[in-house]
Structure 1
């Protein structure tokens, strides 16, 4: 076990939202303001579906390397399908991340207005049942994300459905992550220090030690959720929208201790994005004399995403 001190991020039950929506919103928003992170139990995603998704994820990454690389879209920015090991690099880092991943996005009907900005999904021939399982899991994450955004809206003094128009047919991505076994002298870490790009990230699979956040005092703190709970964090788009009232906290996945380096680590983050044409414009209620507008120039979600993908090496200038 890593000896990094634990972050005292509260574990909240999403089941409390129906009984006391204002109380849940205050607790959830308060955790975001303090840490940029929250831990959410009773998130409503069916455990049988999650178990099936884990089994399919392991089977996918166990495929031969050349077969996996057949699903890599050159020049696609990793938007869909497979991204090989040691491709992504954290902004400002010198060593690439020790991971490979697969992206599942939103299935859009033919002729949809966002089809130009949102690539179609890539589906592997095997393992069997992959497509159906991850279409279902994507929808389940989407629904949980809507509930959490409703709580954020309440916390910010907005109407509870404020984010609905922002995320309708949004460019969200479900990432299946595999951190393979690594040697003791491996250069770099599994995921270098970074912030997420999107509105919020919903993460399953953080029970294995390694996920850490950078606290406001400069200390790294370990995030240790209870079994089955979801780790949720603020992304840069929400930070910008709220004028940094809700901070997008730097985090990383460090390498395991020597006795665990021969084991793989898997996780499933759902990066909840707004629609490509959503205008990220500072909320007036988040601007004050003590906190003047840090981002007076609005930007579309599509343009902001492109800027950031260039920074992390998934898109070339």
Structure 2
């Protein structure tokens, strides 16, 4: 709850979790409160490594953020959507195609989904250093809290997970941490994201797809779990299964950058967003994310690790591996707007970015 000195934010009333029995994926639950000892970290590292090799996602609990703090950040997350005028949103629209950055607003209908249907998603993204640009007036009173939230995600969650990832590959514990500085130049960022229901006709044309299957471009994605069921991941048996809501938990997955850094030892995980179940069908889905990327100058190759391990694979792109800055700009500029090549007899589409094949799943 906000204190006497905390600015007022209208309460965001979260939807009730679905009562419909869905085909949920069974994910490992990583309790970060156990990472305080060497024994605990080693046990968690094995658990994380096994989770990423088998499924590619895991839950995090014991992260140190209270239920009250969680509710507060969702109150703040709704401000750029429910409490900001359309004129002001247009003033802060992100120039993704030109700059290769998500900072600012992404309006609805920017990304193509399928069969001529475009997205109904609004984003507001801000670098972990919230002072790098100005923000809409309704959001400005909350910038100190957002800055602290970004710092918490980066130092208390991301760095702890990166240590576990390194230990899981028998690498020095700080191997990935030193590539993800908090004060360095990079684009790790907070994203508030609101998915709105599609028109019935568009739901039919897109098969209920809200965001086509994809991998994330960065190293680690941290999703603050919320009650609207819509996120699915592609399991090893090629079936899409739902992610379950666990209050005050995080959902973590690996992105392209980590796959390239580890030579495929940790693979980017394929996920999508679909129309929620019937008892949640008319509610918007509010998301809070921390998208982590390495420092901009890091080349996405195992050579950047500064250490070797029998568990790390070979460079995916050889000596021509892009830097993080090159990769994020190219993928951000192209995402949802570039022409995709349909693969014969398969429900996938591909594009070539920086010499690497990027696959999208319908």
TM-score by length of 2: 0.77
What does residue 64 of structure 1 align with? 85
- Render the CA deviation track for 1:203-226: whole Å, top value 9, x for unaligned: 003432111000122100111141
Unpaired runs of 5+ residues, structure 2, are 1-17, 340-352, 354-362
CA deviation after TM superposition for structure 1 residue 93, in Å: 8.5
C-alpha distance in 1 between matches for 2:302 and 2:215: 19
Unaligned runs of 5+ in 1: 110-119
> Does structure 1 residue 14 correspond to structure 2 residue 10?
no
Instruction: Provide the C-alpha distance between the structure 2 equivalents of 1:88 and 1:259, rounded to a whole number of angstroms.
Output: 26
Q: Secondary structure at the match of 2:326?
A: helix
Give me the whole-angstrom Cα distance separating, in 2, the residues matched to 1:46 and 1:263.
25
Cα gap change, 1:65 to 1:7, in 2 (>3 Å): same
Q: Aligned residue for 1:114?
A: none
Q: Residues 187-226 of structure 1: matches in 2 within 5 Å?
A: 187=203, 188=206, 189-226=209-246
Q: 2:25·2:243 contact (CA, 8 Å) conserved in 1?
A: yes
How large is the Cα RMSD of the aligned pairs? 2.6
- CA shift, 1:310, in A, is 3.0
Q: Deviations over 1:89-111 (max 9, x none)?
A: 47x986433211000103288xx
1:103-161 CA-to-partner distances (Å, cap 9, x unmatched) read: 0103288xxxxxxxxxx233221146221221111111111101100110111111111
1:85 maps to 2:108: yes
Return the alpha-carbon distance in structure 2 between the equivalents of residues 6 and 108 of structure 1: 36
1:97 equivalent to 2:119? Answer yes
1:243–1:286 CA contact under 8 A, matched in 2: no
Name the CA distance, whole Å, in 2 between partners of 1:93 and 1:286: 45
Matched, 1:53 2:73: yes
Q: CA deviation at 1:46?
A: 4.1
With 268-277 and 94-103 compared, the bigger mean Cα shift is at 94-103
The 10-residue stretch of structure 1 (177-186 or 27-36) with the greater mean CA deviation from structure 2: 177-186
Q: Name which of 15, 23, 31 aligns with 1:5.
A: 23
| Aligned 8 A contact 1:239 1:248 in 2 | yes
1:154 aligns with 2:161: no
- Is the 8 Å Cα contact of residues 210 and 222 (structure 1) preserved in structure 2? yes
Q: Do 1:225 and 1:231's aligned partners in 2 also have CA atoms closer than 8 Å? A: no
Counterparts of 2:27 and 2:276, CA distance in 1: 21
TM-score, scaled relative to structure 1: 0.87
